[in-house]
């Protein structure tokens, strides 16, 4: 298993600033919100202040609690899903700036009613990842922004709350119509390829005529907006589809799109925000459809996909199949063959390959 370091220089910069400026001290009680804490480093370091942890990542919430437990701290962390409403007002807000500006915009719009001119707002990121659009987002929604000097290639951003700025209405979710599905597809702010169907998924859909039609339990793994599972349900109305993604917004998009496509079908699908296939019974699945991510925020690699493939082997019933679409240059065929003992390329073009493996 590949282990990633659970913090970066931006986390260190935040914690040093909080200490040096005495923003949070043991003798004060300040309601604190931590936003986008990737693996719980900030939640662990600030656990004595009982912060709320607000994130779109179910994995980040799991990791925060695991790291609290590993450090023998209380795991009674108040985790808030990205689409849940915040409550009350916060005195201190700490934000790790996300990769996607649309997601940052959504978060700031949701946050604005819960901060005042006295709220301390500190955002942080690595300099190479900070975009001008992120600064503009803070200024447009919150108010004036200043920045720190860069340290260890990280930078802090300080936002003041201008209470005279009108609260904005979120433009998300957005929708587009995919001809291969025939219905509008809703996409929340943090979804990959939010404004159009990504090219890998579109290529995958062209291969559905080759797919088994009699699968009873089907999983759309890393479901995004749910287009792969929805298309299979259109083709096989009796199938039980499970939509899984680590993003709360992705699961919400999958659910909204499924219910809009099949308003008269009851209990034909399930929706779960989880890490890979965690929570799925072994040898219980007939078909897994997977368009795996190859990055986690700014970290690029194949480990997420490899974990999904191994978990798929556990969950597939004998004779069940895993269908994967991926960029050709990732060369997943050799790795799938090593794991499953077989792999067939159903079709490929210059950019993508659709592969099929069967659990023997």
pLDDT tens digits, 91-110: 999 999 999 999 999 999 99
pLDDT tens digits, 294-340: 755 545 568 899 999 999 999 999 999 999 999 999 999 999 999 99
Query: Which residues lie below 8 Å from residue 266, measured CB to CB, with a gap of 6+?
Result: none
Contact 354, 347 (CB under 8 A): yes
Can you give the pLDDT at residue 129?
86
* Average confidence (pLDDT) over 151-177: 95
pTM of this structure = 0.94
Can you give the pLDDT at residue 239?
95
What torsion, rounded to 10 degrees, do the Cα atoms 197, 198, 204, 206 define?
A: 50
Q: How far is CA 71 from CA 11, 38, 60, 75, in A?
A: 17, 17, 16, 10
* Average confidence (pLDDT) over 279-287: 98
Distance CA 166, CA 180 (A): 40
In the CATH scheme, what is the homologous superfamily, with its name and number, of domain 9-159?
Answer: Vaccinia Virus protein VP39 (3.40.50.150)
Measure CA 86 to chain center.
19
Can you give the pLDDT at residue 299?
56
Distance CA 226, CA 221 (A): 9
Can you give the pLDDT at residue 194?
84
CATH 3.40.50.150 region(s) of the chain?
9-159, 174-358
Whether pLDDT at 283 is above 90: yes
Domain covering 174-358, topology: Rossmann fold (3.40.50)
| Mean pLDDT score of the chain | 94
Can you give the pLDDT at residue 195?
85
Can you give the pLDDT at residue 298?
47
Among 306, 359, 300, 310, smallest CA distance to 331 is for 306
pLDDT tens digits, 213-247: 999 999 999 999 999 999 999 999 999 999 999 99
* Average confidence (pLDDT) over 177-205: 90
């Amino acid at each position: 298993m590949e282990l990633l370091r659970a913090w970066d220089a931006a986390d260190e910069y935040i914690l040093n600033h909080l200490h040096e400026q005495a923003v949070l001290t043991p003798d004060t009680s300040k309601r604190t919100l931590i936003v986008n804490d990737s693996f719980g480093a900030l939640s662990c370091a600030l656990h004595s202040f009982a912060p709320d942890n607000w994130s779109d990542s179910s994995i980040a919430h799991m990791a925060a609690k695991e790291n609290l437990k590993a450090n023998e701290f209380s795991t009674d962390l108040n985790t808030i899903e990205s689409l849940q409403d915040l409550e009350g007002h916060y005195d201190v807000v700490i934000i790790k700036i996300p990769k996607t500006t649309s997601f940052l915009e959504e978060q700031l719009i949701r946050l604005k009613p819960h901060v005042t001119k006295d709220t301390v707002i500190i955002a942080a990121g690595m300099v190479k990842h900070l975009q001008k659009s992120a600064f503009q987002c803070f200024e447009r929604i919150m108010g004036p922004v200043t920045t720190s000097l860069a340290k260890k290639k990280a930078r802090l951003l300080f936002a003041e709350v201008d209470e005279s700025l009108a609260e904005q209405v979120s433009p998300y979710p957005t929708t587009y119509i995919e001809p291969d599905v025939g219905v509008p597809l809703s996409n929340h702010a943090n979804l990959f390829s939010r404004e159009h169907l990504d090219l890998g998924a579109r290529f995958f859909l062209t291969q559905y005529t080759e797919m088994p039609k009699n699968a009873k339990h089907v999983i759309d793994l890393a479901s995004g907006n749910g287009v792969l599972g929805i298309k299979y349900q259109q083709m096989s109305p009796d199938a039980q589809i499970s939509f899984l993604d680590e993003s709360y917004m992705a699961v919400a998009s999958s659910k909204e799109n499924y219910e809009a496509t099949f308003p008269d079908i009851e209990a034909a699908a399930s929706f779960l925000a989880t890490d890979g296939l965690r929570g799925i019974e072994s040898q219980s699945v007939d078909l897994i459809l997977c368009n795996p991510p190859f990055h986690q925020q700014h970290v690029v690699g194949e480990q997420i996909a490899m974990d999904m493939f191994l978990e798929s082997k556990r969950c597939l019933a004998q004779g069940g199949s895993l269908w994967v679409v991926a960029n050709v240059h990732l060369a997943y065929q050799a790795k799938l063959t090593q794991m499953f003992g077989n792999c067939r390329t159903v079709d490929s073009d210059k950019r993508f390959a659709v592969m099929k493996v069967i659990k023997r």
